[in-house]
Amino acid sequence: MTPGPRPAGSREPGDVDEAVFDVVERIPPGRVSTYGAVGRLVGVGPRRVARALSAGGAAVPWHRVLRADGTAAEPVRARQLELLAAEGVPARGGRVDLRAVGWPDDGDG
């Protein structure tokens, strides 16, 4: 598949975006995740997840990805809270309770 030699275990930039989109599509409706959580599942940093969504997030439920404290990113804050409310995710003061609808479950109890 790959036309040229490259270090084993590494991925091409495009593949990283695909991996991010794949995880985001796995987030069930009515639930939310975080850039950090998605990044850990994919194996990249949270900033790389944000970069991927900013580039091609339109094809995935990007609105289910919030910041670590349950708040939405500035450039999409209003739009994101609107979409979340439409699928039954409550927000309080522009903040979502990750302990209630966070995904994957932390197993906290």
Partner DNA sequence: TTACTGACGATAA
Partner DNA sequence: CTTATCGCCAGTA
User: Is residue 21 involved in binding DNA (CB under 7 A)?
Assistant: no
Inter-residue contact 23 to 41 (CB < 8 Å): yes
40 binding DNA? (CB under 7 A): no
What span, in angstroms and rounded, lies between the C-alpha atoms of 99 and 102? Answer: 6
Residue 13 binds DNA, judged by CB under 7 A: yes
Q: Output DSSP code: residue 59.
A: G
103 makes contact with DNA (CB under 7 A): no
Q: Are 24 and 53 in contact (CB under 8 A)?
A: yes
Considering only the stretches 1-9, 28-36, 83-91, 101-109, report the one whose residues sit in contact with DNA under the rule CB under 7 A: 28-36
- The distance of closest approach from Cβ of residue 53 to DNA in the complex, given in angstroms and rounded to an integer, is 4
Smallest Cα–Cα separation from 98: which of 67, 61, 77? 67
Near DNA by CB under 7 A: residue from 20, 23, 31, 34: 34
C-beta of 30: minimal distance to DNA in Å?
A: 18
Which pair of structure tokens corresponds to residue 71? 């708040």
Residue 40 region, left (φ>0) first, then alpha (ψ -120 to 50), else beta?
alpha
Contacts with DNA, residue ranges (CB under 7 A) = 13, 16, 34-36, 44-51, 53-54, 57-58, 62, 65, 67-69, 73-76, 80, 93, 95
